[in-house]
Structure 1
Amino acid sequence: MSQQQDYKFEGWNALDKNSVKGQMVWQEYEPKAFADDDVDIKIMYCGVCASDIHTISGGWGDMPWPVVTGHEILGEVVRVGPKVKHVKVGDIAGVGAQNDSCLECDQCLKHREPYCDKGQTGTYAGIYYREGPGKGAKSYGGYANYHRAPSHFVVPIPDGLDHALAAPMLCGGVTVYSPLVQYGAGKEAKDVGIVGIVFAKALGANVTAISHSESKKADAEKMGATRFIATHSGKEDDFKPYARSLDLIVATTNDESMPLTGYLSLLRPGGHLILVGAPEKPLPAIPAFPLILNNVHIAGSAIGSPKLIKEMLELAAKQNVKSWIEKRDIKDANQTVIDMKASKARYRYVLVNTANGGKL
């Protein structure tokens, strides 16, 4: 039998798209009805993801307001359903950007839940559709004091991994890690470029950091990049010295004006450019000949499955992989959203709930 709930679910509610201006409201909300396979987490840390900003600004379209964002959730398990076996009350666990799926289709059975044939339920602003007491309810994220999730998407946090550093890995980290693994980083793909910040080093790849300016060069080198490419203007001259030098590029940027043709020129024949960022506007047009004559490929990749998140966290603990974060008190979530939108983060804000045991 599951434990009884003696706490309220409260969090920073975005009531409309003006919330991105620092107008979220702290108030109570009703989570999905508790199911036999559910877990409640007392939130200690929650990373702030660019997806949160795109959501509460309305940049990705209108939302089922109110919305509580945050899908890099880490904290203490305080309630488990009778069908839950892999975590128990008192464990430290996390939830990434996915909260549910059908768990029955070919994709789900192959540990590819983000690509569920019936569609995934996001950790916030999603609707639960699986049969059970929570069917039809809305999902609420981690800018809050508690989070309720189906246990399939709850991942134990390995011992020895700093909890604040682990939180951003649950979405931001695994979103990069997933295509790195899929496309053979460190194996078939020896030379890997990252438009953004680096996770590939731990997989044994030679890492090239790619950025629009030199401002992040020193940071990239500290993170393990062996080469840095600055794409100042996005024109051919920026890329020409490095042509055909990479096997794989993972682009984390949300910039709709990203120099796609330039990125493609960096790839060797057979190479892949994988988009994991999601700009609010259409991407630049791409001529056909650079694709055809160079045998290069553009693809996309979503978040990672629970299995992949677990694997990534174990690798991070083993190899002492660390996120670069700035902690912010969850009371300051509105200012944090404003600063995130202004691109002030270096490189991830993490909201800390000190009342729940988080450490600033």
Structure 2
Amino acid sequence: MATTDYKFEGWLGHSAESAKGKMEWGAFEPKKWTENDVDIQITHCGICGSDLHMLRSGWGPTHKACCVGHEIVGRAVKVGKNVKHVKVNDRVGVGAQALSCLQPDCPDCSNGLENHCARSSVNTYGSVYPNDEGKSYGGYADYNRTNGHFVFKIPDGLPSEVAAPMLCGGVTVYSPLKKNGCGPGKTVGVVGVGGLGHFAVLFAKALGADKVVGISRKASKKDEVLELGADQYIATDDDKNWSVDNARTLDLIISTVSSPKMPLTEYLGLLKVGGSLIQVGAPDGGNLPAVSAFTLIMSGIKIGGSAIGSPDEIREMLQFSADNKIRPWIQTRPLKDANQAIIDMEEGKARYRYVLVNEKHVSA
């Protein structure tokens, strides 16, 4: 039976101060229901760095009040008539995107690139829907309503607390690894081994890369990163001459760092001739360090970017993770403690991903 007597309530950010652990619990009005939608009773929601950026309006003004969280897993409790791949009581998930234009003449959506749709894109939270359908609200909440095209069945064998952070953090690195040839014969560097970066290490190894190198500032992470499966670790603050000693050793770098002060030129020097650095971390303001054209020209290297992943890529990644028993390092936190959890996240205490657990729904 479908549950119909539920209320949409969650942790709401009313100002930039909410990013400092000052979200307030309250009711919100979800988008207007359509027969393309799915209502989800949330059991788990990962905490992503994007949540903090949005709460403090780091990427531009955020529509307030805002309920963040876009790594959502739960149970479908209401399914629109036009949604054919999900039924009531299925275990499902939602990532960072809630809608694109989905028109057959769209060069992006018609080619499975919904995450790059230039006509219309609605984020899972903090966006306004077209056609006066209301605002989008995320997963630090009891329930979520999202267009069914962006709702995914979670494969059996993939625990909900494991699947949740994959829906944004996982696919954000899985997509560029796959698109840029990660596999046998390749050496891959991961800049910033945190929530995103630890996924990149796990996926690069599972995809068969010959060598995976973790790159972070401090040597204190070395043992953990090697335990994740990395073959080498570079501490840029502590290893003298790291850029010279490791020059031209990597085919591909995935950069998860969101700092405008990172040593980008030195990272590029780690690439072999013809190599690529793909930026997935998005700093407040969007600025990256300046790079000389000669840095690119002399080694024939490329800088690119990648944004989350398409629905097809998310489904592929979830099944790949289930088949290969990918297990990110997560720490579960009660949903009621979300304010303290985002403070701890900002202070770098997560190893390596916090997942909020809506305990009343997990036990239901």
Q: TM-score, normalised by structure 2?
A: 0.93
Match of 2:256 in 1: 252
User: How far, CA to CA, are the matches of 1:90 and 1:322 in structure 2?
Assistant: 25
Residue 337 of structure 1 and its aligned partner are, at CA, apart by 1.1
Match of 2:76 in 1: 77
User: How many residues align structurally?
Assistant: 352
Secondary structure in 1 matching 2:331: strand
Residue 58 of structure 1 and its aligned partner are, at CA, apart by 2.1
Structure 2 unaligned spans of 5+: none
Q: Which amino acid aligns with 1:194?
A: V
Q: Which amino acid aligns with 2:271?
A: L
Structure 1 unaligned spans of 5+: none
CA 176–76 in structure 1, closer or farther in 2 if over 3 Å, else same: same
Residue 234 of structure 1 and its aligned partner are, at CA, apart by 9.2
Match of 2:314 in 1: 309
8 Å CA contact retained: 1:166, 1:313: yes
User: How far, CA to CA, are the matches of 1:148 and 1:159 in structure 2?
Assistant: 23
2:20 matches 1:15: no
* Identical amino acids, percent of aligned pairs: 51
8 Å CA contact retained: 1:234, 1:259: no
8 Å CA contact retained: 1:158, 1:313: yes
CA 358–96 in structure 1, closer or farther in 2 if over 3 Å, else same: farther
Match of 1:127 in 2: 128
8 Å CA contact retained: 1:77, 1:91: yes
2:302 matches 1:297: yes
Residue 109 of structure 1 and its aligned partner are, at CA, apart by 1.3
Match of 2:171 in 1: 174
User: How far, CA to CA, are the matches of 1:89 and 1:273 in structure 2?
Assistant: 42
8 Å CA contact retained: 1:44, 1:358: no
Which of 228, 236, 247 is the equivalent residue of 1:243?
247
Residue 266 of structure 1 and its aligned partner are, at CA, apart by 0.7
Which structure 1 residue ranges, 4+ long, deviate > 4 Å from structure 2? none
Residue 4 of structure 1 and its aligned partner are, at CA, apart by 7.1
User: How far, CA to CA, are the matches of 1:356 and 1:309 in structure 2?
Assistant: 24
User: How far, CA to CA, are the matches of 1:250 and 1:156 in structure 2?
Assistant: 28
Cα RMSD, aligned residues only: 1.7
2:285 matches 1:284: no
8 Å CA contact retained: 2:70, 2:125: yes
C-alpha deviations, 1:207-243, integer Å up to 9, x for none? 11111111221121121111111111698x2211111
Q: TM-score, normalised by structure 1?
A: 0.94
Secondary structure in 2 matching 1:106: coil
Residue 119 of structure 1 and its aligned partner are, at CA, apart by 3.3
Q: Which amino acid aligns with 1:151?
A: G
User: How far, CA to CA, are the matches of 2:50 and 2:4 in structure 1?
Assistant: 30
User: How far, CA to CA, are the matches of 1:225 and 1:332 in structure 2?
Assistant: 33
Match of 1:118 in 2: 119
Secondary structure in 2 matching 1:217: helix
8 Å CA contact retained: 1:166, 1:323: no
